[in-house]
Amino acid sequence: MYEENQEVYDIETLIRNYGNDVLRTAYMYVKDSHLAEDIFQDVFIKVNQKLSTFQGSSSIKTWIIRITINTCKDYLKSAWNQRVSPFTEQQENTLAGEDDFTAVEQKQENSLIRQAVMRLPDKYKDVLLCVYFHEMSIGETAKALQLAEGTVKSRLSRAKDKLKLSLEGRI
């Protein structure tokens, strides 16, 4: 258990509060729901083991997201992942009433954006995911990624430029 601002956190509370963020982040990296669930478990095992070492220099969410990103990167670099290509899953759940042109168009646009973000180099993708996906501040992102705030700002700017170039003419 860890106390933060007089509040006690145990692993169940952390999973309840941040589990969706961890699962979504893992899925964004590995693009496979089963692997994302495995990474989710690994992350919370690590969180549980290291909770007593959390120093509070960042928010608990920032700390957990940093562990998630590092776990995903470790998996993607692993020899197992290099040798075995995972089965690709069916497209995301179909929308109810796909005949609604606007909904289908929005889904396609979101998919293009997601794919463009995931094609970016890690240093840009990580910053975009923290700032826009997890709604972290520049300071929280800097702590999560262990970077200077100025570096986060410049990478965010470059990431947006690269994303814009990648998406021009596609949306």
pLDDT digits (tens, 9 = 90+) for 34-60: 999 999 999 999 999 998 888 888 889
Q: What is the pLDDT of residue 89?
A: 39
Q: What is the pLDDT of residue 87?
A: 43
Q: Is residue 151 part of a domain?
A: yes
pLDDT digits (tens, 9 = 90+) for 105-143: 666 666 777 778 878 888 998 898 888 888 889 998 998
Which residue segment(s) compose the domain that 117 sits in? 100-171
The stretches of the chain forming alpha helices (DSSP H) are 11-30, 33-50, 60-77, 79-83, 101-119, 122-128, 138-145, 149-167
Q: What is the pLDDT of residue 20?
A: 93
Tokens 């800097």 sit at which residue?
142
3-state secondary structure at position 4: strand
With a pLDDT cut of 90, the percent of the chain lying above it is: 34
CATH number at residue 115: 1.10.10.10
Enclosing H/E stretch for 8: strand 7-9
Contacts of 81 (CB under 8 A, 6+ apart): 75
Q: Is residue 148 part of a domain?
A: yes
CATH number at residue 27: 1.10.1740
* Short-list 114, 125, 29, CA closest to 68: 29
pTM more than 0.75: no
pLDDT digits (tens, 9 = 90+) for 67-88: 999 999 888 887 555 554 444 4
Q: Are residues 21 and 81 in the same domain?
A: yes
Q: Are residues 74 and 6 in the same domain?
A: yes
Q: Are residues 113 and 72 in the same domain?
A: no
Does the pLDDT value for residue 94 go beyond 70? no
Q: What is the mean pLDDT of the chain?
A: 79
Q: Are residues 80 and 129 in the same domain?
A: no
Pick the most confident of 15-19, 54-58, 97-101, 127-131.
15-19
